[in-house]
Chains A and B, each alone.
Chain A
């Protein structure tokens, strides 16, 4: 089971749309895929027309009184399941910090990883869609993930954020996720966007060559309530996600032999 997590400290950078489309493509490729909507706003759940509600709330899941397995819902797509958001996730930091049944003996930063373990037999890929913040939740996610997918809006500030994140992850003992950034909401008419994407792709390992452009088709997802790859598979947006997904399945370019 490989765990992907979309993460950025900032909101509105295309985390959820990426998680939804990449999870859809993973399932379409034949992988048994689960998407966990960790964001209390429940955008990913909304996009799959699933009610953002978990019986017993986040507390039951984190404490282990309800198995993750029991809360999972099938989406409309073959092999793709969703663990819905719940409004109580807004208190997840607190929940992770207090010892529960499943939490006893586990460090607060490793609880999500532990909760996900039993799903290994059932899923090939798990996508975690994280709320924007830097918190105990995000730290848990970083410890659980094998690949940290970081959408970047091409601004100087976001480049700094990536550096900080990489440094933070490098400080982990033991398991460290691979950090894979990609440009999101790229506006081809903006000179700065083009410059930054070009420069950063050249300079930084782990930055994907495929950018996700800012397109109204992606915004349409909230009207269609489906992944863009499902309702408009031939669109530029769908093709961009497909290219990104292919690229993410290869090792980052620095690891390629010269």
Chain B
């Protein structure tokens, strides 16, 4: 079986119904002698899994990563969505738990996916166990001229997955494989199969078919806000939908955080919390007052709870990049800092995990959802105004005007806090834009967001450097207190702090130009166009 041109079919009948297979065999016997091949290569049990990051980075890049288990270890196969092979690599053992691409042994698959997936872990999205049987198709001389490979597949969604624990049996899959030098015979067999009752061409690959059977869709997780809202919808309903969408994202990330699969689960969870807090603050006027007030406190608690672990994650993720900046000190000098950060992170993570398993968090999740569902689905008469579009218009306009006023007052002599405040306001505007994205004209929206993003990057650079510089100094104090800081380490940390100060000064110098672009006449015009479209009732 050297050549492997595959012609794939799928039975229309469910897994337990053999009538289609009988029909397939009978169609093939019009031209061939059909006989079982007990010793055929590839026959028996086949175990496979498809891997991707939680946020489908490989899928988004048009790639599919398959792990085929062998008796010992297995093979990783990277292919394009259309099945074209891209890279292949042997691995010695089945990854027991989701792993980072960094943890794979060197090889072509690792090389291709490292940048794409980092820092996310590779999770088994679907596991498949199949029973493969092979039938030979013989010509009049009794020579095998093609083979029919029948595969019965059971698929499961492994734990740590949005469809965890679900199992499905797929309808049998049939494939004609070519024997080298007999392409015509394989074509003929495929044509006969295509005509058999209950057999149709496989329109989906096995991975896609498995996802469908498990009730999933590729790219069914995104950390973005894509609530279903319309312009004419009463504002409370739109806000409830938005907050429910954020709550979904938050909840989806909890198992990944608790299993500590990768750092981005916590990051996405925090973004959902921040967005929720902003939504309550900026749009809370359409919610019952006591509800908004209570959850303002609860989500602040949740946000604060996650901060120490995330800050340490950021330090550790950027650690190598940080050591590369060193000129005077050696990267080895910083290793005690890395160890210190890792110890602290472990401690903070335990505290975080305990709280996420605790009653307060559970209550937030359950009661908040209940309240939002009531708000969304309430029956009977209610106020139709303001509409979602009216709310978008008033809040977005107000937010933009605040930034303009705030930013214009900033001079080179202003303290860092003023830039920090502006950054928060800019983030709020960004969230408002994202919340109401479905109501905006896409072109006008992209223009405003692009300007805003430039400004946010500059403010973020300024603020992050400031915060990190203070943190380095606090870490130095803490390490000294624990006698965990050799002099060389402290000196290296001093150099890092100096680098951060340089970066911060550069960001500060950039500020005026970026702000000018965003809030100057052209920038204002772009916002005016965006909001003018809004008043025309675009959906």
Contact = CB atoms under 8 A, between A and B. Distances in A.
A244 interface: no
Nearest to A71: B181
A81 interface: yes
Contact of B1 (A49, A72, A74): A74
Contacts of A97: none
Which of A32, A49, A81, A225 has the most chain B CB atoms closer than 10 A to its own CB? A49
Interface string B111-154: 00000000000000000000000001000011110000000000
Interface in B1-40: 1-3, 40
B142 A74 contact: no
B2 A81 contact: yes
A219 interface: no
B38 to A, nearest CB: 13
A89 interface: no
Given A49-B142, A74-B2, A81 B180 contact: yes
Contacts of B3: 74
B271 interface: no
Interface of A (DSSP majority class): loop
Contacts of A48: 143
Interface string A73-111: 111101101000000000000000000000000000000
Nearest to B142: A49
Given A49-B143, A50-B143, A78 B179 contact: no
B182 interface: yes
B215 interface: no
A225 B143 CA distance: 9
Contacts of A78: 1, 40-41
Contact of B142 (A32, A75, A81, A225): A225
Nearest to B141: A49
Which of B2, B3, B180 has the most chain A CB atoms closer than 10 A to its own CB? B2
A49 to B, nearest CB: 4
Given A49-B142, A225-B142, A74 B41 contact: no
Interface in A49-87: 49-51, 71-76, 78-79, 81
Contacts of A50: 143
Nearest to B140: A49
Contacts of A74: 1-3, 144, 179-182
A14 B172 CA distance: 47
Interface string B157-183: 000000000000000000000011110
A144 B136 CA distance: 35
Interface in A5-56: 32, 48-51
Given A79-B2, A225-B142, A72 B181 contact: yes
Instruction: Indicate the size class of the contact surface on chain B.
Output: 10 to 19
A123 B41 CA distance: 18
B148 to A, nearest CB: 15
Nearest to A74: B180
A75 B180 CA distance: 8
Nearest to B136: A76
Interface string A109-137: 00000000000000000000000000000
Contacts of B1: 74, 78
A96 to B, nearest CB: 24
Contacts of A225: 141-142
A164 to B, nearest CB: 38
A33 B41 CA distance: 16
Contacts of A72: 180-181
Contacts of B136: 76
A206 B181 CA distance: 37
A79 B180 CA distance: 11
Contacts of A81: 2, 180-181
B190 to A, nearest CB: 17
Nearest to B181: A73
A73 B180 contact: yes
Nearest to B179: A74
B520 to A, nearest CB: 64
Contacts of A76: 136, 143-144
Contacts of B144: 74-76
B142 A73 contact: no
30 contacts: A32-B2, A48-B143, A49-B141, A49-B142, A49-B143, A50-B143, A51-B141, A71-B181, A72-B180, A73-B179, A73-B180, A73-B181, A74-B1, A74-B2, A74-B3, A74-B144, A74-B179, A74-B180, A74-B181, A74-B182, A75-B144, A76-B143, A76-B144, A78-B1, A78-B41, A79-B2, A81-B2, A81-B180, A81-B181, A225-B141
Interface of B: 1-3, 40-41, 136, 141-144, 179-182
Given A49-B142, A75-B144, 13 more contacts: A49-B143, A72-B180, A72-B181, A73-B180, A74-B2, A74-B3, A74-B179, A74-B181, A78-B1, A78-B40, A79-B2, A81-B180, A225-B142
Which 4 A-B residue pairs are closest in the complex by CB-CB distance?
Answer: A73-B181, A74-B180, A49-B143, A74-B179
